[in-house]
Amino acid sequence: MSADLTQPVTDAATGAVRVLIVEDNPHIIEMYSYVLKKLAANELKGKLPLEVHFAADGHAALTMLLESSFQLVMTDLYMPVMDGFQLIERMRHEAKLKPIPVVAISAGGQDARERAMKLGVDIFLKKPVRFAEVMDTVKQLLKIK
């Protein structure tokens, strides 16, 4: 049985879309949280539950990813403990985590973008990102129309 590529990607157990945001800046976390809540309320009109979870570094994120299921990871690249590059590399070598779409978000320049893309991110967004850019990216990767 093949996956329906037109249907939103959801958690099999809960039917919700579970997004993990890996970011160490509380102001940026607030912005992502606001954008995703707005997406769920306005564009999804509550039809598709959206769960947003946060991790302050790659190590905490990896633990969460291995313990639970997520449909999307949005990660900063420069963080303490384990940076986003290391997280992406680990995800792409873990069978359970490899299929999860990853958005890298960074103020780093072309070198950061190229390195992240080589590691296997699906989309690279340059900080500062616009609300619409985050929303469009989430909708695209989760197949939300």
C-beta of residue 84 within 8 angstroms of C-beta of residue 103: no
Q: Cα 115–130–135 angle (5° rounding)?
A: 90
What order of strands is seen across the sheet that includes strand 50-55?
A: 50-55, 17-22, 72-76, 102-106, 123-126
Residue 26 above 60 pLDDT? yes
Query: pLDDT tens-digit profile of 119-133?
Result: 999 999 998 888 788
Domains of the chain: 18-141 (3.40.50.2300)
Look at strands 102-106 and 72-76 and give their pairing. parallel
**Strands annotated E in the chain:** 17-22, 50-55, 72-76, 102-106, 123-126
Residue bearing tokens 């590691």: 119
Range in 4-13, 56-65, 74-83, 127-136 with the lowest mean pLDDT? 4-13
Which residue in 42, 39, 47, 46 sits closest to 19, CA to CA?
39
